[in-house]
Chains A and B, each alone.
Chain A
Amino acid sequence: MMRRRVDRLGRIALHAAYTCQGDSPPRPMVFASRYGDMGRSVELLEQLAQATPLSPTSFSLSVHNAIGALYSIARGDLTAQSAVAAGAETVEAAFVEACGLLSEGAPEVLVVVYDEPRPAPFAHFPEQVSFPHAWACSLRPAGDGATYQLSCSASTGAPERASGDVLPEELSVLRFLVSGDARFEHHTGSRLWRWHRDA
Protein backbone atom coordinates (compact mmCIF):
# COMPACT_ATOMS: atom_id res chain seq x y z
CA MET A 1 0.00 0.00 0.00
CA MET A 2 3.03 2.30 0.24
CA ARG A 3 3.94 2.01 -3.43
CA ARG A 4 1.10 4.28 -4.54
CA ARG A 5 2.55 7.12 -2.46
CA VAL A 6 5.85 7.38 -4.32
CA ASP A 7 6.58 8.97 -7.67
CA ARG A 8 9.28 7.98 -10.13
CA LEU A 9 12.21 9.22 -8.04
CA GLY A 10 11.00 7.41 -4.93
CA ARG A 11 10.39 4.24 -6.89
CA ILE A 12 13.85 4.07 -8.43
CA ALA A 13 15.52 4.97 -5.12
CA LEU A 14 13.58 2.32 -3.23
CA HIS A 15 14.20 -0.22 -5.96
CA ALA A 16 17.95 0.32 -5.54
CA ALA A 17 17.64 0.21 -1.75
CA TYR A 18 15.59 -3.01 -1.69
CA THR A 19 17.89 -4.71 -4.23
CA CYS A 20 21.00 -3.84 -2.23
CA GLN A 21 19.38 -4.76 1.08
CA GLY A 22 18.29 -8.21 -0.12
CA ASP A 23 17.71 -10.56 2.78
CA SER A 24 20.50 -9.07 4.91
CA PRO A 25 19.73 -7.93 8.44
CA PRO A 26 18.79 -4.23 8.76
CA ARG A 27 21.72 -1.80 8.77
CA PRO A 28 22.03 1.98 9.04
CA MET A 29 21.31 3.82 5.82
CA VAL A 30 22.33 7.07 4.17
CA PHE A 31 19.93 8.44 1.56
CA ALA A 32 21.68 10.95 -0.68
CA SER A 33 20.09 13.17 -3.29
CA ARG A 34 21.24 16.52 -4.59
CA TYR A 35 17.77 17.82 -5.43
CA GLY A 36 15.43 15.23 -3.92
CA ASP A 37 11.78 15.12 -4.87
CA MET A 38 11.73 18.69 -6.14
CA GLY A 39 8.63 18.13 -8.29
CA ARG A 40 6.51 17.82 -5.16
CA SER A 41 7.81 21.08 -3.73
CA VAL A 42 7.10 22.90 -6.99
CA GLU A 43 3.57 21.48 -7.03
CA LEU A 44 2.97 22.60 -3.44
CA LEU A 45 4.35 26.08 -4.14
CA GLU A 46 2.06 26.40 -7.15
CA GLN A 47 -0.94 25.38 -5.04
CA LEU A 48 0.05 27.95 -2.42
CA ALA A 49 0.42 30.65 -5.09
CA GLN A 50 -3.06 29.86 -6.38
CA ALA A 51 -4.43 29.77 -2.81
CA THR A 52 -5.77 26.23 -3.33
CA PRO A 53 -5.58 23.67 -0.51
CA LEU A 54 -2.35 21.67 -0.36
CA SER A 55 -2.39 17.93 -0.91
CA PRO A 56 -1.73 16.36 2.52
CA THR A 57 0.03 13.41 0.87
CA SER A 58 2.37 15.65 -1.12
CA PHE A 59 3.02 17.77 1.94
CA SER A 60 3.95 14.73 4.03
CA LEU A 61 6.34 13.51 1.31
CA SER A 62 7.97 16.84 0.46
CA VAL A 63 10.71 16.59 3.09
CA HIS A 64 14.14 15.38 2.04
CA ASN A 65 14.03 12.24 4.20
CA ALA A 66 10.56 11.15 3.01
CA ILE A 67 11.76 8.35 0.73
CA GLY A 68 13.92 6.83 3.45
CA ALA A 69 11.04 7.19 5.89
CA LEU A 70 8.72 5.22 3.59
CA TYR A 71 11.37 2.49 3.37
CA SER A 72 11.53 2.40 7.14
CA ILE A 73 7.72 2.28 7.54
CA ALA A 74 7.15 -0.30 4.79
CA ARG A 75 9.77 -2.64 6.28
CA GLY A 76 9.07 -1.88 9.92
CA ASP A 77 12.79 -1.16 10.07
CA LEU A 78 13.80 1.12 12.95
CA THR A 79 17.52 1.30 12.09
CA ALA A 80 19.19 4.72 11.96
CA GLN A 81 18.89 6.73 8.73
CA SER A 82 20.18 10.03 7.44
CA ALA A 83 19.25 12.04 4.37
CA VAL A 84 21.97 14.22 2.87
CA ALA A 85 22.16 16.82 0.12
CA ALA A 86 25.42 18.61 -0.62
CA GLY A 87 25.33 20.00 -4.15
CA ALA A 88 27.90 18.53 -6.50
CA GLU A 89 29.52 16.81 -3.49
CA THR A 90 26.41 14.86 -2.49
CA VAL A 91 27.96 11.43 -3.10
CA GLU A 92 31.10 12.34 -1.17
CA ALA A 93 29.01 13.72 1.70
CA ALA A 94 27.06 10.45 1.79
CA PHE A 95 30.28 8.43 2.03
CA VAL A 96 31.64 10.69 4.79
CA GLU A 97 28.38 10.21 6.70
CA ALA A 98 28.60 6.44 6.15
CA CYS A 99 32.22 6.39 7.40
CA GLY A 100 31.04 8.22 10.52
CA LEU A 101 28.44 5.51 11.15
CA LEU A 102 31.05 2.77 10.57
CA SER A 103 33.45 4.43 13.00
CA GLU A 104 30.66 4.49 15.58
CA GLY A 105 30.51 0.72 15.31
CA ALA A 106 28.01 -0.07 12.57
CA PRO A 107 29.21 -3.30 10.90
CA GLU A 108 27.82 -2.18 7.56
CA VAL A 109 26.11 0.91 6.10
CA LEU A 110 23.90 1.12 3.03
CA VAL A 111 24.25 4.22 0.85
CA VAL A 112 21.49 5.06 -1.64
CA VAL A 113 22.12 7.80 -4.23
CA TYR A 114 19.26 9.09 -6.38
CA ASP A 115 18.34 12.12 -8.48
CA GLU A 116 16.25 13.13 -11.45
CA PRO A 117 16.21 16.18 -13.73
CA ARG A 118 14.91 19.28 -11.97
CA PRO A 119 11.40 20.27 -13.06
CA ALA A 120 10.42 23.66 -14.50
CA PRO A 121 10.89 26.41 -13.37
CA PHE A 122 14.30 25.19 -12.13
CA ALA A 123 15.22 23.19 -15.22
CA HIS A 124 17.31 25.89 -16.89
CA PHE A 125 19.79 26.41 -14.05
CA PRO A 126 23.30 25.00 -14.55
CA GLU A 127 24.28 21.49 -13.46
CA GLN A 128 20.99 19.93 -14.48
CA VAL A 129 20.68 16.20 -13.78
CA SER A 130 20.93 14.35 -17.09
CA PHE A 131 18.45 11.56 -16.45
CA PRO A 132 16.69 9.81 -13.56
CA HIS A 133 19.09 7.48 -11.78
CA ALA A 134 19.46 5.59 -8.54
CA TRP A 135 22.15 3.32 -7.20
CA ALA A 136 23.04 1.80 -3.88
CA CYS A 137 26.05 0.17 -2.30
CA SER A 138 27.02 -1.36 0.96
CA LEU A 139 30.06 -0.14 2.92
CA ARG A 140 32.04 -2.13 5.47
CA PRO A 141 35.12 -1.20 7.52
CA ALA A 142 38.32 -2.01 5.64
CA GLY A 143 39.25 -5.68 5.81
CA ASP A 144 39.93 -8.31 3.19
CA GLY A 145 39.41 -7.39 -0.44
CA ALA A 146 39.56 -4.01 -2.14
CA THR A 147 39.71 -0.99 0.15
CA TYR A 148 39.04 2.62 -0.65
CA GLN A 149 40.26 5.96 0.63
CA LEU A 150 38.53 9.28 0.27
CA SER A 151 40.25 12.56 1.09
CA CYS A 152 39.46 16.21 0.63
CA SER A 153 41.78 19.15 -0.04
CA ALA A 154 41.81 22.58 -1.70
CA SER A 155 41.37 22.44 -5.45
CA THR A 156 43.74 24.35 -7.67
CA GLY A 157 41.27 24.27 -10.53
CA ALA A 158 39.51 21.50 -12.36
CA PRO A 159 41.26 20.02 -15.36
CA GLU A 160 39.45 20.01 -18.68
CA ARG A 161 37.09 17.05 -18.97
CA ALA A 162 38.34 14.54 -21.45
CA SER A 163 36.67 15.14 -24.77
CA GLY A 164 34.46 12.26 -25.81
CA ASP A 165 33.50 11.57 -22.18
CA VAL A 166 29.76 11.23 -22.56
CA LEU A 167 28.96 10.06 -19.04
CA PRO A 168 27.25 12.79 -17.00
CA GLU A 169 29.39 14.14 -14.15
CA GLU A 170 26.91 13.04 -11.48
CA LEU A 171 27.66 9.40 -12.32
CA SER A 172 31.45 9.75 -12.20
CA VAL A 173 31.82 8.34 -8.68
CA LEU A 174 29.69 5.33 -9.58
CA ARG A 175 31.87 4.75 -12.64
CA PHE A 176 35.00 4.90 -10.49
CA LEU A 177 33.57 2.42 -7.98
CA VAL A 178 32.61 -0.17 -10.57
CA SER A 179 35.53 0.37 -12.97
CA GLY A 180 38.33 -0.95 -10.80
CA ASP A 181 40.35 2.21 -11.58
CA ALA A 182 43.01 3.08 -9.02
CA ARG A 183 42.03 6.72 -8.57
CA PHE A 184 39.50 9.40 -9.38
CA GLU A 185 39.72 13.13 -8.71
CA HIS A 186 36.51 15.09 -8.30
CA HIS A 187 36.88 18.89 -8.37
CA THR A 188 33.86 20.70 -7.02
CA GLY A 189 34.24 24.45 -6.60
CA SER A 190 37.11 25.13 -4.21
CA ARG A 191 37.48 21.52 -3.12
CA LEU A 192 39.14 18.46 -4.53
CA TRP A 193 37.89 15.04 -3.47
CA ARG A 194 40.39 12.25 -4.08
CA TRP A 195 39.07 8.72 -4.37
CA HIS A 196 41.68 6.01 -4.14
CA ARG A 197 41.32 2.28 -4.50
CA ASP A 198 43.95 -0.03 -2.97
CA ALA A 199 44.37 -3.22 -4.93
Chain B
Amino acid sequence: MQALEQEIKKLVIETLNLEDLKPEDIDPAAPLFVEGLGLDSIDALELGLALQKAYGVALASDSKENRRHFASVRALADFVSAHRKS
Protein backbone atom coordinates (compact mmCIF):
# COMPACT_ATOMS: atom_id res chain seq x y z
CA MET B 1 0.00 0.00 0.00
CA GLN B 2 2.88 2.33 0.76
CA ALA B 3 4.24 1.85 -2.74
CA LEU B 4 0.86 2.77 -4.19
CA GLU B 5 0.67 5.85 -1.96
CA GLN B 6 4.08 6.88 -3.24
CA GLU B 7 2.94 6.36 -6.83
CA ILE B 8 -0.19 8.43 -6.28
CA LYS B 9 1.81 11.24 -4.70
CA LYS B 10 3.95 11.36 -7.86
CA LEU B 11 0.82 11.30 -10.01
CA VAL B 12 -0.68 14.21 -8.05
CA ILE B 13 2.50 16.28 -8.39
CA GLU B 14 2.94 15.60 -12.10
CA THR B 15 -0.71 15.93 -13.08
CA LEU B 16 -1.27 19.17 -11.19
CA ASN B 17 2.15 20.63 -11.94
CA LEU B 18 2.99 21.14 -8.25
CA GLU B 19 6.48 22.24 -9.18
CA ASP B 20 7.70 23.10 -5.69
CA LEU B 21 6.64 19.81 -4.05
CA LYS B 22 8.36 16.46 -3.67
CA PRO B 23 6.51 13.24 -2.84
CA GLU B 24 7.93 13.26 0.69
CA ASP B 25 6.42 16.70 1.29
CA ILE B 26 2.91 15.25 1.03
CA ASP B 27 1.45 13.74 4.19
CA PRO B 28 -0.59 10.74 2.99
CA ALA B 29 -3.21 11.37 5.67
CA ALA B 30 -3.54 15.15 5.15
CA PRO B 31 -6.51 16.66 3.27
CA LEU B 32 -5.86 17.28 -0.44
CA PHE B 33 -8.52 19.89 -0.99
CA VAL B 34 -9.07 23.36 0.46
CA GLU B 35 -6.88 22.69 3.51
CA GLY B 36 -3.67 20.66 3.25
CA LEU B 37 -2.47 20.92 -0.35
CA GLY B 38 -5.20 23.47 -1.09
CA LEU B 39 -6.42 21.92 -4.32
CA ASP B 40 -9.69 23.01 -5.92
CA SER B 41 -12.52 21.56 -8.03
CA ILE B 42 -10.64 21.81 -11.35
CA ASP B 43 -7.77 19.87 -9.76
CA ALA B 44 -10.26 17.21 -8.66
CA LEU B 45 -11.46 16.77 -12.25
CA GLU B 46 -7.90 16.68 -13.57
CA LEU B 47 -6.88 14.14 -10.93
CA GLY B 48 -9.94 12.00 -11.64
CA LEU B 49 -8.96 11.88 -15.30
CA ALA B 50 -5.35 10.95 -14.47
CA LEU B 51 -6.48 8.14 -12.14
CA GLN B 52 -8.79 6.85 -14.84
CA LYS B 53 -5.94 6.82 -17.36
CA ALA B 54 -3.39 5.26 -15.00
CA TYR B 55 -5.50 2.66 -13.19
CA GLY B 56 -8.72 2.33 -15.16
CA VAL B 57 -10.76 3.37 -12.14
CA ALA B 58 -14.04 5.05 -12.95
CA LEU B 59 -15.32 7.71 -10.60
CA ALA B 60 -19.06 7.74 -10.04
CA SER B 61 -20.94 10.99 -10.26
CA ASP B 62 -21.96 10.52 -6.62
CA SER B 63 -20.23 13.50 -5.06
CA LYS B 64 -20.47 12.19 -1.47
CA GLU B 65 -18.54 9.05 -2.40
CA ASN B 66 -15.98 11.05 -4.34
CA ARG B 67 -15.44 13.40 -1.46
CA ARG B 68 -14.50 10.39 0.65
CA HIS B 69 -12.15 8.92 -2.02
CA PHE B 70 -10.45 12.27 -2.59
CA ALA B 71 -10.01 13.07 1.08
CA SER B 72 -6.28 12.25 1.14
CA VAL B 73 -3.56 10.36 -0.71
CA ARG B 74 -4.25 7.40 1.60
CA ALA B 75 -7.97 7.41 0.78
CA LEU B 76 -7.14 7.55 -2.94
CA ALA B 77 -4.76 4.61 -2.58
CA ASP B 78 -7.47 2.58 -0.81
CA PHE B 79 -9.93 3.43 -3.56
CA VAL B 80 -7.50 2.59 -6.37
CA SER B 81 -6.39 -0.74 -4.85
CA ALA B 82 -10.03 -1.77 -4.44
CA HIS B 83 -11.13 -0.82 -7.97
CA ARG B 84 -8.07 -0.85 -10.23
CA LYS B 85 -8.22 -2.62 -13.57
CA SER B 86 -4.62 -2.06 -14.61
Give the B-binding residues of A (Cβ under 8 A): 1, 3-5, 53, 55-57, 60
CA A55 to CA B52, docked complex, whole Å: 12
Contacting pair B52 A57 (CB below 8 A): no
Tell me whether chain A's interface is mostly helix, strand or loop, or mixed: helix
Q: How far is the CA of A3 from the CA of B53 in the complex (A)?
A: 25
Which of B18, B43, B52: most chain A Cβ within 10 A? B43
CB distance from B48 to the nearest CB of A (A): 8
Residues of B within 8 A of A53 (CB): 49, 52-53
The contact string, 1 if C-beta is below 8 Å from chain A, for chain B 17-32, is 1110000000000000
Most central of A3, A53, A56, A60 by chain B CB within 10 Å: A56
Is A56's CB under 8 angstroms from B46's CB? Answer: yes
Quick one: closest A residue to B52, CB to CB? A53
Q: How far does the Cβ of A88 sit from chain B's closest Cβ, in whole Å? A: 33
How many chain B residues touch A (Cβ–Cβ < 8 Å)?
Answer: 12
Taking the closest CB of chain B, its distance from the CB of A7, in whole angstroms, is 10
In the bound complex, CA of A55 to CA of B47 (Å)? 10
* B46 partner residues in chain A, CB cutoff 8 A: 55-57
* Complex-state Cα separation, A57 to B18, whole angstroms: 13
CB of B45 closer than 8 Å to a CB of A: yes
CB distance from A59 to the nearest CB of B (A): 9
Known: A3-B19, A4-B19. 17 other contacts (CB 8 A): A1-B38, A4-B16, A4-B17, A4-B18, A5-B17, A53-B49, A53-B52, A53-B53, A55-B46, A55-B49, A56-B45, A56-B46, A57-B42, A57-B43, A57-B45, A57-B46, A60-B42
Q: 0/1 per residue, B33-45, Cβ < 8 Å to A?
A: 0000010001101
Q: How far apart sit A38 and B26, CA to CA, in the bound complex (Å)?
A: 34
The residues of B that contact A1 with a CB separation of less than 8 Å are 38
Instruction: With CB as the reference atom, state the residue of chain B lying closest to A55.
Output: B46
Min distance, Cβ B38 to any Cβ of chain A, angstroms: 5
Closest to B44 in A: A56
User: Which residues of B in the span 34-79 have a Cβ within 8 Å of any Cβ on A?
Assistant: 38, 42-43, 45-46, 49, 52-53
Given the complex of chains A and B, what is the CA–CA distance between A57 and B43 in angstroms? Answer: 7
- The 21 listed contacts between A and B (C-beta, < 8 Å) are A1-B38, A3-B19, A4-B16, A4-B17, A4-B18, A4-B19, A5-B17, A53-B49, A53-B52, A53-B53, A55-B46, A55-B49, A56-B42, A56-B45, A56-B46, A56-B49, A57-B42, A57-B43, A57-B45, A57-B46, A60-B42
